[in-house]
Amino acid sequence: MNPRRTSKPIQIGDVTVGGNAPIVVQSMTKTDTRDVMSTIAQIKELEECGCKLVRVAVPDAEAAQAISAIKRGVSLPIIADIHFDYRLALMALEAGADGLRLNPGNIGEPEKVEAVVRAAKERDIPIRIGVNAGSLPKTNNPQLTTAQKMVEAALQQIKLLESLDFDLIKVSLKAFDVPTTIDAYQDIAQKMPYPLHIGITESGLPRKGVIRSAVGIGTLLYLGIGDTIRVSLTAHPREEVIAAYEILKSLDLHQNGPILVSCPSCGRAEVDIIKLAEAVEEELAKINEPIKVAVMGCVVNGPGEAKDADIGIACGKGKAVLFKKGKEIGTIQEKDFVVALVKEIEEMTSR
Binding residues for ligand SF4, per CB under 6 A? 263-266, 268-269, 296-298, 300-302
Q: Closer to ligand SF4 at the Cβ: 243 or 263?
A: 263
Coil, strand, or helix at residue 185?
Answer: helix
Q: How many CB atoms lie within 10 A of CB 9?
A: 14
Closest by Cα among 216, 237, 172, 171 to 26: 237
CB 77, CB 53: distance < 8 Å = yes
- Least Å distance, CB 314 to ligand SF4, is 8
Compare residues 271 and 287 and give the one whose CB is closer to ligand SF4: 271
Of 180 and 262, nearer to ligand SF4 (C-beta) is: 262
Backbone phi, psi, residue 125, to 5°: -100, 125
Q: To the nearest whole angstrom, how small is the minimum distance from the Cβ of residue 271 to ligand SF4?
A: 9
What is the closest distance, in whole angstroms, from the C-beta atom of residue 313 to ligand SF4 in the complex?
11
Q: Provide the Cα torsion 332, 333, 336, 340; round to 10°.
A: 0
99 secondary structure, DSSP code: E
Rounded CA separation 246/241 (Å): 9
231 or 313, CB closer to ligand SF4? Answer: 313
Task: Report in angstroms how near the CB of residue 269 gets to ligand SF4 at its nearest.
Answer: 4
Alpha helix locations (H) across 108-256? 110-123, 146-163, 178-189, 206-222, 237-250
CA distance 215 to 238: 20
Nearer to ligand SF4, 15 or 263 (CB): 263
Give the nearest distance from C-beta 265 to ligand SF4 in angstroms. 5
Nearer to ligand SF4, 125 or 309 (CB): 309
Q: Which residues contact 75 (CB under 8 A, 6 or more apart)?
A: 47
Taking the complex as a whole, the smallest distance from the CB of residue 124 to ligand SF4 amounts, in Å, to 54
Name the minimum Å distance from CB 304 to ligand SF4: 9
The CA distance from 286 to 345, in Å, is 11
Nearer to ligand SF4, 22 or 316 (CB): 316
Residue nearest to ligand SF4 according to CB distances in the complex: 297
Please name every residue paired with 294 in a beta bridge, in sequence order, or none if there are none. 261, 312
Nearer to ligand SF4 (CB atom), residue 266 or residue 339: 266
CB of 13 to ligand SF4, least distance (A): 45
Identity of the residue, 150 or 273, whose beta carbon is nearer to ligand SF4 in the bound complex? 273
Distance of closest approach, residue 311 Cβ to ligand SF4, in angstroms: 16
27: phi then psi, degrees, rounded to nearest 5 = -150, -175
Look up residue 325 and give its amino acid. Answer: K
Q: Could you tell me the smallest distance in angstroms from the CB atom of residue 154 to ligand SF4? A: 46
Nearer to ligand SF4, 206 or 297 (CB): 297
Where does residue 124 fall: left (phi above 0), alpha (psi -120 to 50 degrees), or beta otherwise?
left
Q: In the chain, at which residue ranges do the beta strands (DSSP E only) sit?
A: 10-12, 15-17, 24-28, 53-57, 78-82, 99-102, 127-132, 169-174, 197-198, 228-229, 258-262, 291-296, 311-315, 319-324, 327-333
